[in-house]
């Protein structure tokens, strides 16, 4: 499939750009990272030795090139603060973020698509107004407010679920809902509008003429076509979900990628921050390709 190949090439170029951008942005800071890393009152010889051992004395293009070569081999450097390879730290943290994102995507899909369909079927009647209001509310609440509200009501008032993540799947429910809340809102809105568009299509009339009820026509015929833009959007939302994961992980103390990045900023750990961001950009790009592939499988019109 040459189209897919071209897509892959495009992603490679984008990731190169991502790497370059992070590399430049992290190096325009005034002052050198080594004196920040070591305390201020060390002798210059130590600073020089450290700079050399970290490879920070080489010219920037050379540093970039060796970083690039390392990244291709899966070596993202060594964390300044935690003194471990960045790749190992990422591999420790990523499963948590993956679990959180998958659970919250499942919640967003189930809740968003479900309410979106109900909205479209009951267009401009009470259930539609309720769910439309709810979805607009859904996209207007920041992740941290959803998270704190869940902690207040579900943990504190009703004591149904644990306050923070403790390793059990149960304690992942609140973080997943908190993170999926916004996406559920946008999925519901898109499902509704996309399904409404499909309902005007002639094939729905045909299906009705063949004796299907409106509801059957919507579910068997309309929904299939209406889902295509929703799937594309879900892939694009991966990016905002991973953004939200930073906040969710910090509130529910999950030691995932977001926590790792936040720690990197707070401890001024450049290789760790660089590696984490690069890895997340990689995940997002892969997600976008996956959405393309799924769409090509589902929509024969794209296979030309």
Q: Which residues bind other proteins (CB under 8 A)?
A: 10, 13-15, 17-18, 21-22, 25-26, 28-29, 136-137, 139-145, 148, 151-152, 156, 239-240, 242-244, 246-247, 250, 258, 261-262, 264-265, 268, 270, 273, 276-277, 280-281, 284-285
- Choice between 14 and 82, CB closer to other proteins: 14
Least distance CB 85 / other proteins (angstroms):
20
- Choice between 265 and 297, CB closer to other proteins: 265
Least distance CB 222 / other proteins (angstroms):
20
Least distance CB 45 / other proteins (angstroms):
28
Distance CA 162, CA 244 (A): 20
- Choice between 139 and 219, CB closer to other proteins: 139
Least distance CB 9 / other proteins (angstroms):
12
Least distance CB 223 / other proteins (angstroms):
23
- Choice between 10 and 224, CB closer to other proteins: 10
- Choice between 138 and 222, CB closer to other proteins: 138
| Cα 291 to chain centroid, rounded | 14
Distance CA 151, CA 158 (A): 10
Least distance CB 232 / other proteins (angstroms):
14
- Choice between 217 and 256, CB closer to other proteins: 256
- Choice between 217 and 252, CB closer to other proteins: 252
Tokens representing residue 154 in the block: 């579900």
Least distance CB 153 / other proteins (angstroms):
10
């Amino acid at each position: 499939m040459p189209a897919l190949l071209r897509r892959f090439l495009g992603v490679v170029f984008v990731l190169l750009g991502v790497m370059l951008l992070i590399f430049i942005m992290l190096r325009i800071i005034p002052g050198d990272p080594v004196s920040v890393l070591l305390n201020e009152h060390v002798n210059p010889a130590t600073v020089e030795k450290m700079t050399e051992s970290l490879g920070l004395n080489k010219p920037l293009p050379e540093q970039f090139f060796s970083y690039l070569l390392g990244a291709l081999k899966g070596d993202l450097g060594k964390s300044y603060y935690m003194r471990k390879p960045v790749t190992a730290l990422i591999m420790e943290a990523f499963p948590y973020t993956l679990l959180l994102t998958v659970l919250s995507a499942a919640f967003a899909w189930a809740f968003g698509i479900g309410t979106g369909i109900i909205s479209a079927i009951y267009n401009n009647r009470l259930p539609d107004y309720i769910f439309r209001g709810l979805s607009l509310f859904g996209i207007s609440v920041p992740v941290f407010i959803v998270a704190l509200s869940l902690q207040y009501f579900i943990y504190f008032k009703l004591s149904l679920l644990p306050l923070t993540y403790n390793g059990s799947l149960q304690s992942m429910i609140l973080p997943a809902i908190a993170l999926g809340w916004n996406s559920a809102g946008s999925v519901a809105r898109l499902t509704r509008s996309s399904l409404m568009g499909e309902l005007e299509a002639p094939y729905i009339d045909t299906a009705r003429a063949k004796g299907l009820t409106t509801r059957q026509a919507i579910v068997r015929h309309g929904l299939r076509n209406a889902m295509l833009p929703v799937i594309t959007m879900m892939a694009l939302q991966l990016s905002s979900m991973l953004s939200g994961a930073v906040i969710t992980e910090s509130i529910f103390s999950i030691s995932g990628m977001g926590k790792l990045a936040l720690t990197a900023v707070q401890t001024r750990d450049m290789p760790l921050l660089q590696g984490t961001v690069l890895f997340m950009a990689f995940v997002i790009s892969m997600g976008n390709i996956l959405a393309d592939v799924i769409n090509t499988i589902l929509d024969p019109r794209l296979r030309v």
